[in-house]
């Protein structure tokens, strides 16, 4: 009898407290509603079909492991974001029409889809975690993007990698060459990450863009723009376009060590190319030679034992949906898995301090400035809520066989660039002749001895001619730049209807203010 009494009192008390505490049922309180906003279209590396198995895997491992969030359940809702405004509409519809406010937003990845969702997330105090939204504009977390945490390295982190690489080589000027199409503008945002970092260092830059989706791509013009620019060339375009540019540069004799080419290829998938020169066509031999002066920047790959199981499961789920490809795991798939883990860790902390899942800002705060174990290795989020990036540089280490290997790695948290010790570095001393002051030297070495005029007159003429040429060039470039900017702007006005304007204009401002 006494034991029954002892047992039943706390039970009754608990039941009474639960009934009285709030109008929402205890079920509802321990239910974490996750809204995933990603495109259905499988041409995206981060389509729902590709990412869903990773999210399910993470949710399952969280629920199997009762120690992390005891009693909590996840309910995951998947909605098509279409890489556009559909993302915002899905969120609004869920809240306004179905009366269900999510506790966590995962995605969107596309910049123009993510921007309005991020604004609404801060307005409604909802944590938003994305493996995308990599543009530099999202780094400003004080205002409208306050609730966004990025679990993949943003483009500006890649910019920091280039800065470390440039410091390593003692370079301080660059040509940025990228493909841009006014749609999703991936390469534009990628290059912007480099531009912003270089601009802070006051590195002189030559910036050129082209539209590779156009019917006719003028490779000669691209090569001429490289020749008119700096000796270190950073490029972003599809794998095939990079190969065509390298072939054209090779034919102009620009692959003998006078230029250093870099290709940004973060996601290593069939749709972005795999950094290889090989295509099985008649240009393979030339391409192999050309690629000896090309280095590819990619994400540093790490794996650990659990990763194998994860990738097997994701692979079989994706295959069941009829997708057959080379690599099933990419940065986005990994990132969204790790996003669930990060949220669970943050929520656990918040609960410990006596807050609830409704305290979005508290949860967001807990996602920042922390390091945790992701599915493929350690994930470090900086105090601003952006993941530190680790990157690798791949180069051709054997020009005869054309083999490419990782030659160096950048560790973002430490800000350290390291050349791997066990590889033969292709650009040994004397092999790479990057002379950043080439143009200057030419003009200084103007032969004067044979000139019939007096030295001062020659100096005057040379200086005058240089000044004139400089002015003409300045005028020309100014006009050209100006025109490009205007064209961009007016094209934007047309195809921008409904897209996120401010992000775009911010980006443009930051991008072109140095031009
Ligand atoms: C369960 O979660 C705890 C805390 O996050 C972790 O230390 C532990 O390794 C996890 N166990 C499994 C089997 O995943
Ligand atoms: C890279 O892609 C090309 C064609 O896209 C293919 O022929 C080649 O085998 C691939 N190489 C690797 C290492 O995946
Ligand atoms: C891409 O993946 C293939 C195999 O999956 C690998 O051999 C190659 O080195 C990778 N390339 C880059 C640029 O990461
Ligand atoms: C980040 O966390 C470390 C300890 O984990 C702390 O010393 C540091 O002050 C934190 N930084 C910020 C900006 O909160």
Ligand 2: distance of its center to the CA of 225 in Å? 29
- Same domain membership, residue 144 and residue 35: yes
Q: Hey, whose CA ends up nearest to atom 9 of ligand 2? A: 278
In this structure, which ligand is nearest to the CA of 345? 1
In this structure, which ligand is nearest to the CA of 268? 3
Q: Is residue 507 part of a domain?
A: no
Note the pLDDT of residue 325: 79
pLDDT tens column, 19-33? 444 445 767 889 999
Ligand 3: distance of its center to the CA of 260 in Å? 21
Q: Is the distance from the beta carbon of residue 239 to the nearest atom of ligand 3 less than 6 Å?
A: no
**Residue from 278, 301, 405 whose mutation best tests the ligand 2 pocket (most atoms within 8 A of CB):** 278
- Same domain membership, residue 134 and residue 186: no
Instruction: Tally the domains of the chain.
Output: 2
- Same domain membership, residue 358 and residue 401: no
Q: Is residue 211 part of a domain?
A: yes
Kindly report the CATH number assigned to the domain that includes residue 286: 3.40.50.2300
Q: Is residue 428 part of a domain?
A: no
Contacts of 1 (CB under 8 A, 6+ apart): none
Q: Is residue 245 part of a domain?
A: yes
Ligand 2: distance of its center to the CA of 126 in Å? 42
Which of 334, 363, 381 terminates a domain? The answer is 381
**Residue from 45, 274, 315, 392 whose mutation best tests the ligand 3 pocket (most atoms within 8 A of CB):** 274
Q: Hey, whose CA ends up nearest to atom 12 of ligand 4? A: 383
Q: Is residue 451 part of a domain?
A: no
- Same domain membership, residue 209 and residue 103: no
- Same domain membership, residue 224 and residue 114: no
Task: Record the tokens describing residue 8, joined without a space.
Answer: 């039943």
- Same domain membership, residue 118 and residue 35: yes
- Same domain membership, residue 288 and residue 139: no
For residue 175, the cross-strand partners are 206, 233
- Same domain membership, residue 283 and residue 183: yes
- Same domain membership, residue 376 and residue 239: no
| Helix pair angle (501-512, 111-123), 10° resolution | 120
Which of 317, 351, 381 terminates a domain? The answer is 381
pLDDT tens column, 237-271? 988 899 999 999 999 999 988 999 999 988 755 44
- Same domain membership, residue 187 and residue 73: no
Q: Is residue 512 part of a domain?
A: no
Cα–Cα distance for residue pair 246/222, rounded to 1 Å: 11
Note the pLDDT of residue 276: 82
**Residue from 241, 263, 268, 274 whose mutation best tests the ligand 2 pocket (most atoms within 8 A of CB):** 274
Note the pLDDT of residue 426: 67
Q: Is the distance from the beta carbon of residue 265 to the nearest atom of ligand 3 less than 6 Å?
A: yes
- Same domain membership, residue 205 and residue 260: yes
pLDDT tens column, 76-126? 999 999 999 999 999 999 999 999 999 999 999 999 999 999 999 999 999
Q: Is residue 485 part of a domain?
A: no
The tens place of each residue's pLDDT in the chain, 515 residues long, gives 444 444 444 444 444 444 444 445 767 889 999 999 999 999 898 999 999 999 999 999 998 877 778 889 999 999 999 999 999 999 999 999 999 999 999 999 999 999 999 999 999 999 999 999 999 999 999 989 999 999 999 999 999 999 999 998 889 999 999 999 877 788 999 999 999 999 999 999 999 999 988 778 899 999 999 999 999 999 999 888 999 999 999 999 999 889 999 999 887 554 445 568 988 899 999 999 999 999 999 999 888 999 999 999 999 999 998 888 777 889 999 999 999 999 999 999 999 999 999 999 999 999 999 999 999 999 999 999 999 999 999 999 888 899 888 999 999 999 999 988 888 766 665 456 676 665 443 333 333 333 333 344 444 444 445 544 544 454 444 433 333 333 333 344 333 333 333 444 444 334 433 33
Note the pLDDT of residue 220: 93
Q: Is residue 374 part of a domain?
A: yes
Closest by CA to 165, choosing from 264, 17, 269, is 264
Within its chain, how far is the Cα of 16 from the centroid?
51
Ligand 4: distance of its center to the CA of 10 in Å? 41
Note the pLDDT of residue 503: 46
Ligand 3: distance of its center to the CA of 264 in Å? 13
Strands 104-106, 174-179: pairing kind: unpaired
Q: How far is CA 374 from CA 32, 177, 214, 342, in A?
A: 20, 34, 40, 9
Q: Which domain holds residue 352?
A: 27-154+303-381
Q: Give 395-449 as a 3 state SS string.
A: EEEECCCCEEEEEEEEECCCCEEEECCCCCCCCCCCCCCCCCCHHHHHHHCCCCC
Helix/strand/coil for 506? helix
């Amino acid at each position: 009898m006494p034991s029954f009494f002892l047992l039943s009192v706390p039970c009754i008390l608990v039941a009474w407290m639960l009934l009285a505490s709030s109008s929402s049922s205890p079920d509802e309180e321990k239910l974490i509603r996750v809204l995933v906003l990603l495109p259905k279209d499988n041409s995206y590396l981060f389509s729902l079909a590709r990412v869903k198995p990773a999210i399910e895997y993470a949710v399952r491992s969280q629920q199997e492991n009762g120690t992390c969030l005891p009693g909590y359940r996840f309910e995951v809702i998947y909605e098509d974001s279409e890489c556009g405004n559909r993302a915002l509409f899905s969120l609004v519809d869920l809240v306004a029409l179905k009366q269900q406010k999510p506790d966590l937003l995962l995605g969107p990845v596309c910049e123009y889809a993510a921007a309005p969702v991020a604004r609404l997330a801060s307005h409604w105090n909802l944590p938003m975690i994305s493996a995308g939204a990599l543009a530099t504009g999202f780094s400003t977390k004080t205002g409208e993007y306050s609730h966004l945490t990025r679990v993949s390295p943003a483009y500006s982190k890649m910019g920091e990698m280039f800065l470390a690489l440039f410091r390593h080589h003692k370079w301080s000027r660059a040509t940025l060459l990228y493909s841009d199409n006014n749609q999703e503008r991936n390469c534009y945002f990628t290059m912007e990450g480099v531009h912003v970092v270089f601009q802070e260092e006051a590195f002189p830059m030559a910036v050129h863009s082209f539209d590779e989706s156009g019917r006719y791509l003028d490779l000669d013009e691209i090569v001429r723009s490289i020749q008119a620019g700096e000796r270190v060339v950073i490029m972003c375009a599809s794998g095939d376009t990079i190969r065509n540019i390298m072939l054209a540069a090779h034919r102009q004799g620009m692959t003998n060590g006078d230029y250093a080419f870099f290709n940004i290829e973060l996601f290593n998938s069939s749709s972005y190319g795999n950094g290889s020169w090989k295509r099985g066509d008649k240009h393979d031999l030339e391409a192999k030679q050309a690629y000896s002066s090309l280095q590819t920047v990619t994400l540093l790959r790490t794996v650990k034992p659990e990763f194998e199981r994860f990738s097997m499961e994701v692979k079989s789920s994706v295959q069941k949906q009829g997708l057959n490809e080379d690599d099933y795991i990419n940065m986005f798939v990994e990132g969204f898995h790790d996003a669930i883990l990060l949220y669970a860790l943050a929520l656990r902390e918040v609960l410990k301090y006596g807050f609830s899942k409704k305290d979005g800002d508290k949860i967001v705060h807990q996602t920042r400035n922390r390091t945790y174990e992701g599915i493929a290795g350690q994930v470090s989020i900086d105090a601003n809520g952006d993941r530190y990036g680790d990157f690798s540089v791949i180069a051709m280490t054997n020009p005869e066989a054309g083999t490419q290997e990782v030659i160096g790695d950048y560790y973002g948290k430490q800000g350290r660039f390291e050349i791997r010790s066990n590889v033969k570095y292709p650009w040994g001393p004397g092999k790479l002749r990057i002379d950043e002051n080439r143009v200057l030297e030419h003009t200084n070495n103007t032969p004067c001895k044979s000139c019939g005029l007096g030295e001062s007159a020659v100096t005057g003429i040379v200086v005058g001619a240089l000044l004139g040429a400089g002015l003409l060039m300045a005028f020309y470039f100014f006009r050209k730049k100006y025109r490009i900017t205007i064209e961009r702007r007016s094209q934007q006005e047309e195809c921008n209807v409904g897209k996120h304007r401010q992000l775009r204009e911010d980006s443009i401002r930051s991008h072109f203010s140095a031009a």
